[in-house]
Amino acid sequence: MHPATADKNHALTPSRIVRSFTPNWFAATMGTGILAIGLGQFPDIAVLHVAGCLLWMLNIGLFALFSGIYAMTWLRHFDVAREMLEHPTMSMSLGCIPMGLATIVNGLLLFGIPLIGDIAITIAAVLWWIDAALAMACGLAVPFLMFTRQKHAIEQMTAVWLLPVVACEVAAVSGGLLLPYLAEGAAQLEMLLLCYVLWACSVPLAVSLIAILMLRLAVHKLPDASAAASSWLALGPLGTGALAMLLCGENAPVVLASTPLQPFADAIGGASIMAGVLLWGYGFWWLAMASLITARYFRSHVPFNLGWWGYTFPLGVFSVATIHLADLFPLGLLRGLGIGLITALAVIWAVVMTRTVIGAWNGQLFPRPAVAPAAAVALKQAA
Per-residue pLDDT at 383 exceeds 70 = no
At 110-169, the pLDDT tens digits run 999 999 999 999 999 999 999 999 999 999 999 999 999 999 999 999 999 999 999 999
CA atoms within 13 A on the CB side of 2: 3
Half-sphere exposure of 66 (CA within 13 A, CB side): 23
What is the phi/psi pair of residue 309, to 5°? -65, -15
Band of residue 221 on the pLDDT scale cut at 50, 70, 90: very high
pLDDT band per the 50, 70, 90 thresholds, residue 99: very high
Considering only residues 190 and 378, tell me which one the structure prediction assigns the higher pLDDT: 190
pLDDT of the residue at 216: 97
Q: Does residue 3 surpass a pLDDT of 70? A: no
Q: What are the residue boundaries of the structural domains of the chain, listed by start?
A: 12-366
CA nearest to 320, candidates 37, 23, 32: 37
Instruction: Please give the CATH topology (third level) of the domain spanning 12-366.
Output: Glycosyltransferase (1.50.10)
pLDDT value at position 1?
Answer: 43
d(CA 87, CA 361): 26
Q: How far is CA 34 from CA 25, 258, 312, in A?
A: 15, 34, 8
Q: Residue 10 pLDDT > 60, yes or no?
A: no
The whole-number pLDDT of residue 12 equals: 80
- Smallest CA-to-CA distance from 283 within 317, 311, 252 is with 317
Q: What is the pLDDT of residue 373?
A: 42
CA atoms of 354 and 361, how far apart (whole Å) = 11
- Summarised one tens digit per residue, pLDDT across range 258-286 is 899 999 999 999 999 999 999 999 999 99
117-138 exposure pattern, b = at least 16 Cβ within 10 A, e = fewer:
eeebbeebbebbeebbebbbbb
What is the model's pLDDT at position 4?
42
Between CA 54 and CA 56 the distance in angstroms is 5
Backbone phi, psi, residue 118, to 5°: -70, -15
**CA-CA distances (angstroms) from residue 369 to 16, 68, 128, 306?**
9, 19, 33, 15
Q: What is the pLDDT of residue 74?
A: 96
C-alpha–C-alpha distance, residues 134 and 45, integer Å: 35
